Amino acid sequence: MVDVGRDEQVVAARLASQMLTGPPGTSVEGVVGRLLAVQAQDGRGARLSVRSRSTGLKAADVDRALSYDRSLIVSWLNRGTLHLVRTEDYWWLHQLTAPRLARGSERRLRQLGVAPAQSARGVDMIIKTLAEAGPQSREQLRYLLQRLGVPTDGQVMVHLLVIAAATGAVVRGPLAGTDQAFVSVPRWIGAAPRALDSDGALARLARRYLAGHAPAGAADLAKWAGLPLGDARKGLAAISDEVVPVGPGLVALVGGPGLGAGTAGIPVALPAPRLLGPFDPLLHGWASRGPFVGEHGSVVTVNGIFRPVALVGGRVVATWGLPGGRVTVTPLEPLPARARRALALDGADVLRFLGLRDLPVAFS
């Protein structure tokens, strides 16, 4: 425990809300539920997000939750990006974030030269096939669409799938080899519960967002969820009796994680050196990632790739990868020997989690 200034207290409190300090998670569903939605266009990255916030789990536990327990699914939700969520949270998150995604994909299909009748026929085929035939891989669906005369080249296929998902009829569920199959929502996870009204859904969003991201404000929530700022403000206003201010424009749940940042001079813990996977939630949970990446903003590339990073003292200090199945750390600044030893231990845990052969961590 170290005494830190107010800005660093906010950073430390956010790290605690993210489960990077404090008690680690002991179940996949517990970690995902705390974060609410884990970016998942990189499947290994989503799994590693669970690892860095838990103890004793393996990537196979995530796979089992997707394929057998059906307690997790993946769909296009916040910011128009694939996210891993608990099945019980899918419905109301979809209600809030998915409808606007369909409109964007429909416009993009027109730009790609796909006629409205063609896209409608393709989406109908996807929904019908999954309802009748069960889980299908992307390539299986592509083959069926091509036989139907629906274009699937380039970005067309993904936009057809986004529109199908936006209807609430399709999500990504079980693993099919190394890929994740698409499934019919009613067939895979059952009928939708009674929908929340818009105000109720926004209030739930604000409450659940703060659980994994406090201290935060309306701009942070809007950025993370991909919703208008007015909606974020409305959601936070709806739970005003459940939050306390902890800084200029920042709030936390009463008695919840992230509350400690509001008390000047209190000891705040920073996480032990930690390896975070690609697209880790820590790097896109707020309006600015500057407090965590500092001068190393290039870890997020101009084309939107979030590289796997190493944290020391709650700051990004290195990137890393798995060439040849060996964890290889590339420092972005000088690393003390103690930090290198700690990252080497965490690298061994990455290999354990992924079920890979234990090889010494390399520093390039």
Summarised one tens digit per residue, pLDDT across range 13-39 is 999 999 999 999 999 999 999 999 999
Count CB-CB contacts under 10 A for residue 272. Answer: 15
At 293 the three-state DSSP class reads: helix
DSSP states of 3-40:
E--HHHHHHHHHHHHTTSSSSPBSSHHHHHHHHS-EE-
Whole-angstrom Cα distance, residue 58 to residue 180? 18
Which is more confident, 42 or 1? 42
At 165 the three-state DSSP class reads: helix
The tokens describing 55, both together, are: 């103890």
Which DSSP category does 136 fall into?
A: B
Beta strands in the chain, from DSSP E residues, in sequence order: 2-3, 38-39, 72-76, 82-86, 170-176, 179-184, 243-247, 250-253, 267-268, 274-276, 309-312, 315-321, 328-331, 362-363
Name the strand (E) or helix (H) holding 125: helix 116-133
263, pLDDT greater than 60: no
Convert the pLDDT of each residue in 137-151 to its tens digit. 999 999 999 999 999
**What's the pLDDT band for 101 if we cut at 50, 70, 90?**
confident
